[in-house]
Structures are given as structure tokens and as C-alpha cells.
Structure 1
Amino acid sequence: MKESRVAKYFLVFLLVVLLYLSLLIILPVVKNIILALVLVFAFYPVYDFLNKYVKNKTLSSFLMLFLILMLIIIPGSFIIKSLISQSNTAYSFFIKYDFNELYQYMPEYFAETIQLQKYVGDLLLNVKNFIVSFTPGFITSIAHSVLGLFIMFFIMFYAFRDGKTWVVKFEEYLPLKKEYTKKLLLDGERIIGAVLYGYILTAIIQGSLAGLIFFLLGIPNPVFWGFIMIILALIPFLGTAIIWLPAAIIEMLSGNYFSGIILLILGFIVITNIDNLLRPKLISKKADVHPAIILVGVIGGLSVFGFTGMILGPLILTLLIVIIKFFTLEFQS
């Protein structure tokens, strides 16, 4: 009896030590692993569709890696380079811009009290410093690092090919009742889909389209403003109008009436309504996520993970809430 108890304590001790050492090993590449799994989840419907015709899981997985490389990794590297350059240009342009034209349309009290150029200039400086400080690490760990890319693609390949087997194994090892396990996986899948497609994808489409409109109308630094609008589209009660509406006004005050009016029209009719059209279709009522979780997830995720935190933050928080909910049900029963 005593030997049996000693053996149990030894196994628990060994497990804790191995978990700690495993954590130390995984920690440097955890961002790559999580991002790889998120990409697999996002593109898995495409993989399923492709595999119906290819009928070879290994070949379909390789084709998906090539597709992700072409659609995300390579364009993402160029976009990040443009983002660094344009963040500096946008800040310099704003600091040098003559705000007297704008102030003459404002009551004298507001013009003297608000000090728009100072406040927005300080905000842009902080945004610029944030982009510059996080970008080198992001490029090193994800885009330009051979090791980072290898880990991501290695995980993605096996996740595409063997993902369904992993889920079955996960069900077997999870210490919950079977009915709770299945419901946990279904709810987790539904909520991850809601965050990924309903919030993040919608924000990326909205901000990217707004940035494209800026580019077509000849408004400076469209990549920078597009990125800012993607973040704002994720934050409840703010939205992209904080950028495109003042931009349209500044264009008209600068004498560019055509681009200013077109931006106003497209802003109200197209950019604003993307959110209203796409999100309800991409999120089921059962999988709706509270806006506060998205807000905290985006801001906290950006602080912890950098650019990728914009996606990882909300996903991690929503998953945590789902898991807490089911563990509570398990312990109550």
C-alpha cells in the first residue's frame, strides 16, 4: 500500500517536471504553433473541398500549404514593409498639415481647447512606434525566419492531413463525460468560427476595402490607414468611420472635392454596410460573442503577441470561456 502511494506521488512529480520542461521547449514557438492551427481551421473547408477532387490527403495538404504561402505569407511580408514605411510618412504628413483650414469651420472655443493636431499627432506617434517596435519581431519569427516558417508549415501539413484523427484522440483523452466532450468540441468550433469569420474576417475585409478605396482615390498611405481601420473595425462602438470620415472632410477642405465626395458616398454606402451585411451571415445566433471579449482580446492580444495577437487574443479568450463553462458543468454534475 505504501509502495503504491509512493509510486503515484513519483508519477505525479515526474508528470509535473515533464510538463514544465515541455512548456520551456514549446514556449519559444508557441505563437507559430497557434497561428498554424488558426490558419488550418480557417482554410479547412477549402481543404475538404479540394480533397473531394484530389482524393489524396497528402497531396491536398501540400496544395493547401502552397495556397497559404501565395495568399498570406508572401503578400503579408510586402504589406508589412509598406506598413512600416507608410506609418512614418503618415505621421510626418499629419504633423506638417496646415489645420487652419479646418479650424475656421469650428467654433473658436473648440479650436483653441481641443488642440486636434497635438492630440491626434501624439496618437499617431504612439501607433507608429507600436508598428515599428513589433514589426521586426514579427518578421523575424514568422515571415523571414526559416525556422519559424518550417514549424508553421510542418504543423499545418499534419493538421490538414490528420486533423480529424487528432480531434478523435482529443475526445478520448479529455477527462469529461462523452456528451460534454462532444458539446465542448461543437461549441468550441462554432465560437471559433464566429470570432474568426464573423469578427476578424469581416474587419479585414472592411479595413482592406477602405484602404483600397484610399489607394484608388489617391489618398496618401493607404496601407497604413487600411491597417488602422482593420483594428478599429474590431473594436465595438468605434469602427472605420473614425478614419474615412475625417479623411473625406480633409480632402474636400484641400480642394480635392471629387475624391472627398466619392469617399463620403462609398464610406456610408459600402464600407459601413459591410459589417451589417457580412457579420449576421457569418455568425449564428447561438455562437454570438460579446463585444467586450473582442475588445479586450484585440487590445491585450496586440500587446502580448504583436500583429498576430489581433487574431489570437479574441480566439484565446473565447476558448477559455467555453472551457470554463464545460468544466463547471462537469464538476456540478
Structure 2
Amino acid sequence: MKNKMNVTASHWVLIFALLFAAFACFLLVEPYMNSIVMAFILSLLMFPIHEWIENKLPNHKNIVALLSCIVLTFIIVMPLLLVFSAIMQQGAVFSQNLYQWVTGGGIQEVIAHPWVKTALKFINNYLPFDAINAQNIAQKAAEFATSLGSNLVATSAKILGDATNFLMNFFLMLFVLFFLLRDHDKIIAAIRHILPFSRSQEDRLLNEIEKVSKSAVMGSFLTAIAQGAAGGFGMWMAGFPGLFWGTMMGFASFIPVVGTALIWIPATAYLLISGDTTWGLFLAAWSIAVVGSIDNVLRPLLMQGSAGMNTLMIFFSLLGGIHLFGLIGLIYGPLIFAITMVLFNMYEEEFKDFLDGQDNS
């Protein structure tokens, strides 16, 4: 028999006051919401390691939580520093080589290629664009090559300048993560107590949030890492700086629809036009067969089974999440969709008799 409660005027006042206070609290923490959400996601991913440490050091919750945060720091920060250093080094070498190639007449050779002439003629004759002049292309390429080195230095300086902000957000995330790991049981118990659902409904909702949070991270970021590694290997085999362009392909994989093609198609075209037909065909085949299959197979595989979300829903949750929230939307989007699906299923079960009656009326 379900519990029933008579809602009085004082109850409504309390509810509205609570909602207003909750909204005010949200405004206070809103600038730090991304750090809080990432701490929540990482707590789910780190919990198996945290439990293992906790089994080794029972009755030492503070020390265990601190050790878990230290392990996470070494897992994230140290590889990032090494990769960033290598990327800057390869990027500097690439910018120098590009400048020498452009100033040495390389761009003129490309423009003089029959394929390029045919493509420019087709574009100017049949497509509704302003006429594209080959000399303008050469001029823009020379300007780009000249400014690439200085832009790379400026970007590096900006990243280093933002390091303080990054470290502040990172340590804030670690601070939140410490309490999430230490007081995990208390937090879950408090959430269960506050939610006005049955225990089975609470289990479904909390389990789905945990599952989707993990799958969003695994599906998006692990796919990007895998595509970046595979794409970097292919670019390295074709003669490009592997780590630099592999990292660029990893970032490009977050872009819906286009993805890593933003990197490998121009690289393939360059190889074909410059006469390296074998490596151009290899890079195209490798990117389509290996890099592309990672996105088509691995991402849906890691994100499958979330509240009955099919591939189309996953696609729009990622697309809409990026549009509304930026990169963090890769987590927010699927999470919002999944929670909505669970709540919809709970609504359907709760009002099953009424909905069946409406269908039969």
C-alpha cells in the first residue's frame, strides 16, 4: 500500500522556499559546476581503485581518499605534461619545415599540378563562389606559413598563461573528489532519502546515471585517444610528425560528422599532389579502414545500453551537448538524455493503468 501525504499550504511554502534556496545555491556554485561534475564522473571511474586501496587500509578513510587523489594526479597530470612538451617540439619543427617548403616554391608546384588546375577550373565555372585565383592561394599559404611559427609560440604562451586557471580548477576538482570518495556511502544514502521514489526506482535512476557517466567518458574520450593513436601512427608512417598530428586528430574526433577527416583528407591530398601516391593511398586506406572504424564501432559499443538510447539518440545527445555546453557537453548531453529516458520509463510504469485506459477509450 502506497504512502500518501496531504499537502498543506505550509508544505507548499516550504517547497517553494527550498526551490528558491536551491536555485540560489546553484548560482553560487555555477562557475565551478564543471569541476564538480568532473569530480563526480572521476569518482565513479576511480571507485574500483579506491575500493582496492580501502581494503588494504581499512578504517583510514581520509588517507585512502587522499591516496586515490594522488594516484589520479599521476595518471592525468604527468602524461599531459610529457605529451604537451613533445607536441610543442614537433609543432615547432613542422612549422619550420612548412615555411621552408612554401618559400622554396612548394606551393607553386602544387598549384601547377593538373589535378589542382582542373579542380580550380571546375569550382570557378560551376560552383556559386567568387572566382578563386591561384596566386591568391599561394599568397595566403605564404602568409599562413610565415605566421604559423609565431602563432604556435603565442598559443603555447597562452596555454602556459592559462596553467594557473587549469591548476585551480584541477585542485578544486581533487578537493571535491576527496569528499566524494571518502563520504561515498553517506552521499548515496542522503540522495536516496531525499528522492521521493521507491527503492527500486532509486536504484534504476542512480545505476543509470553511473552507467551513462562512465559510458560518456569511455565512449568519447577513449575513442578520441584510440583515433588519435591510430591516426598518429598512420601520419607517422606517411612521413608526418606522428605525435603532433595524432593529437590533432584526437581533438578533431570530437567534431561531429567531420571528425578526423578534417586532418587526414588534406594530408592525403598533399601526398597525392606531391607525387607520393603510394603513401597517399596508404594514408587514405588506413584512415578509412582503421581510424574511421574506431569511431563507428568503438564509440557505439562503449555507449550502448544506456536507458534504451539508440545510435541516433546518442548522436544528437553528443551534438546538442557540444552546442550547449562545449566539450564538457560530451558528458552532459548523454547524461541528460539518459535521465530523461529513465524518468519517462518510470512515468510510464506509474501511470500504466491510466495510459492503457486512454489507449482503449
Q: What TM-score do you get using the length of structure 2 for normalisation?
A: 0.66
Task: Give the distance between the partners of 1:218 and 1:64, measured in 2 at CA.
Answer: 41
Task: Give the distance between the partners of 1:176 and 1:141, measured in 2 at CA.
Answer: 43
How has the CA–CA distance of structure 1 residues 277 and 329 changed in structure 2, closer, same or farther, with 3 Å as cutoff? closer
Please state how far the C-alpha of 1:175 moved relative to its aligned partner: 0.9
More deviation, 194-203/213-222: 213-222
Q: Partner of 1:222 in structure 2?
A: 245
Deviations 1:144-183 (A, max 9, x none): 33xx233211111122233243223322221112222222
How has the CA–CA distance of structure 1 residues 269 and 57 changed in structure 2, closer, same or farther, with 3 Å as cutoff? farther
Whether contact under 8 Å (1:86, 1:223) holds in the other structure is: no
Whether contact under 8 Å (2:208, 2:339) holds in the other structure is: no
Task: Give the distance between the partners of 2:49 and 2:173, measured in 1 at CA.
Answer: 18
Please state how far the C-alpha of 1:192 moved relative to its aligned partner: 3.0
Q: What TM-score do you get using the length of structure 1 for normalisation?
A: 0.70
Q: What is the 5 A alignment of 1:254-269? A: 254-257=274-277, 259-269=279-289
Task: Give the distance between the partners of 2:19 and 2:207, measured in 1 at CA.
Answer: 30
Structure 1 residue 64 corresponds to structure 2 residue 77: no
Task: Give the distance between the partners of 2:12 and 2:303, measured in 1 at CA.
Answer: 47
Q: Partner of 2:47 in structure 1?
A: 44
Task: Give the distance between the partners of 1:79 and 1:247, measured in 2 at CA.
Answer: 22
Q: Partner of 1:32 in structure 2?
A: 35
Structure with the greater alpha carbon radius of gyration: 2
Letter in 2 for 1:317: I
Q: What is the 5 A alignment of 1:1-333? A: 7-8=10-11, 10-53=13-56, 55=58, 57-76=61-80, 97=107, 100=111, 101=113, 102-104=115-117, 106=119, 108-110=121-123, 112-113=125-126, 139=162, 143-145=166-168, 148-215=169-236, 217-219=238-240, 221-222=244-245, 225-232=248-255, 235=256, 238-257=258-277, 259-275=279-295, 278-279=298-299, 282-285=302-305, 289-309=309-329, 311-326=330-345, 328-329=347-348, 332=351
Supply the RMSD in Å over aligned alpha carbons.
4.4
Structure 1 alignment gaps of length 5 or more:
none
How has the CA–CA distance of structure 1 residues 282 and 307 changed in structure 2, closer, same or farther, with 3 Å as cutoff? closer
SS at the partner of 2:222?
A: helix
Q: Percent identity?
A: 20
How has the CA–CA distance of structure 1 residues 325 and 104 changed in structure 2, closer, same or farther, with 3 Å as cutoff? same
Structure 2 alignment gaps of length 5 or more:
1-6, 145-150, 353-361
How has the CA–CA distance of structure 1 residues 11 and 66 changed in structure 2, closer, same or farther, with 3 Å as cutoff? same
Deviations 1:77-125 (A, max 9, x none): 6767959x96996xx98xx75653342464942575467999xx9xx9x
Please state how far the C-alpha of 1:223 moved relative to its aligned partner: 5.5
How has the CA–CA distance of structure 1 residues 107 and 24 changed in structure 2, closer, same or farther, with 3 Å as cutoff? closer
SS at the partner of 1:69?
A: helix
Task: Give the distance between the partners of 1:105 and 1:45, measured in 2 at CA.
Answer: 59
Task: Give the distance between the partners of 1:292 and 1:64, measured in 2 at CA.
Answer: 37
Whether contact under 8 Å (1:301, 1:313) holds in the other structure is: yes
Whether contact under 8 Å (1:202, 1:275) holds in the other structure is: yes
Whether contact under 8 Å (1:225, 1:243) holds in the other structure is: yes
How has the CA–CA distance of structure 1 residues 174 and 262 changed in structure 2, closer, same or farther, with 3 Å as cutoff? same
Letter in 2 for 1:15: L
Letter in 1 for 2:336: L
Letter in 2 for 1:247: A
Letter in 2 for 1:70: F
Letter in 1 for 2:69: L
Letter in 2 for 1:222: W
Task: Give the distance between the partners of 1:281 and 1:200, measured in 2 at CA.
Answer: 13
SS at the partner of 1:289?
A: coil
Whether contact under 8 Å (2:53, 2:64) holds in the other structure is: yes
